[in-house]
């Protein structure tokens, strides 16, 4: 039977794989086309994903959160590598803890300063879904920005078929 920890490692690994696959097909010219969405460009949506990953990892490590994208001046490849590293950081974190640690409460403040206390398991589950949700937005934005190429399969089940069957 799979543990919560093993399941989360799979989900973060699938997110890493899907992020890299999607990022690899996005032409540079499409990154900054303004499109109505939660964030008005593909780049800003990637920044949001990256920032959320970094902020949650900082919280898990008892550190103050920072928006990683605030001072970012790198290339699109640099951005891809940074986002992928932020996902790898969760895999590394999970590999260092015990399954029982996932039920420990994390006390943190959100960006508005409101305090919360929740099990680490809930937070990591939320984060995997957050990444998936916004990648879906990026796919829609990519299509709406004129991209007509093939978009890779990025569903979790596709990752399982490739790596777990």
Give the pLDDT confidence of 91-102 residue by residue, as tens digits.
999 999 999 999
Calculate ∠ Cα 41-70-115, nearest 5°: 100
Around 28, how many Cα atoms within 13 Å sit in the side-chain half-sphere? Answer: 6
Domain range for 75 is: 4-163
pLDDT tens column, 38-88: 999 999 999 999 999 999 999 999 987 777 788 899 999 999 999 999 999
Q: What is the pLDDT of residue 76?
A: 96
Both tokens of 134, joined, read 């916004």
Q: List all residues 6 or more positions away from 28 whose beta carbon is below 8 Å from its beta carbon.
A: 76
Strand-pair partners of 106: 118
Report the CATH number at residue 108: 1.20.120.450
The total number of structural domains in the chain stands at 1
Angstrom CA distances, 32 to 7, 35, 41, 48, 151, stand at: 35, 9, 5, 14, 19
């Amino acid at each position: 039977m799979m543990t919560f920890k093993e399941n989360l490692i799979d989900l973060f690994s699938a997110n890493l794989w899907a992020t890299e696959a999607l990022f690899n097909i996005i032409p540079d010219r499409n990154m900054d086309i303004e499109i109505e969405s939660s964030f008005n460009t593909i780049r800003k949506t990637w920044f949001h994903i990256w920032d959320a990953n970094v902020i949650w990892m900082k919280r898990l490590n008892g550190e103050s959160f920072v928006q990683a994208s605030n001072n970012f001046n790198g290339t699109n490849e640099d951005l891809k590598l940074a986002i992928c590293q932020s996902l790898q950081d969760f895999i590394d974190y999970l590999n260092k803890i015990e399954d029982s640690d996932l039920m420990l409460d994390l006390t943190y403040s959100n960006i508005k300063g409101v305090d919360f206390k929740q099990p680490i398991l809930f937070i990591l589950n939320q984060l995997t879904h957050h990444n998936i949700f916004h990648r879906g937005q990026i796919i829609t934005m990519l299509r709406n920005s004129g991209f007509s190429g093939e978009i890779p399969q990025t569903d979790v089940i596709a990752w399982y078929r490739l790596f777990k069957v």
